[in-house]
Amino acid sequence: MVVIVFRSRLRPGVENEIAKAGQRMYELASAMPGFLSYKDFVAEDGENVAIVEFESLETLAAWRDHVEHKVVQQQGREKFFTEYRIQVCTPVRVSEFIRKGTGS
């Protein structure tokens, strides 16, 4: 598994436009082989954080190089973001806890 942490800050006034582009990117990415998950959050200081999981570096590369994604990447640099940082990580260890049933 590969985990991508995408941290960004938006330019003022682009919220609606980037929301549309983001929805389209989610539709494309989630249909790609190897896509596992996507979640995003906004911190109190305005920073956006997206966490994306793909099965492998190869499936991530296919997404990174997708033609429509390339166009939106360029739009991000030109009009959506004041800054961003992408970290591509591989988990060292994974632990999980899932409570069974509805009781506490």
Over residues 53-75, the mean pLDDT reads: 98
Over residues 11-17, the mean pLDDT reads: 96
- Residue 99 belongs to a domain: no
Over residues 50-60, the mean pLDDT reads: 98
CATH of the domain at 79: 3.30.70.100
Which residue segment(s) compose the domain that 63 sits in? 2-89
Q: Based on the structure, what is the number of domains in the chain?
A: 1
CB of 22 closer than 8 Å to CB of 76: no
- Residue 104 belongs to a domain: no
Candidates 66, 73, 18; CA nearest to 40 is: 18
Q: Is the pLDDT of residue 103 over 70?
A: no
CB of 54 closer than 8 Å to CB of 2: yes
pTM of the model: 0.89
pLDDT at position 104, please? Answer: 57
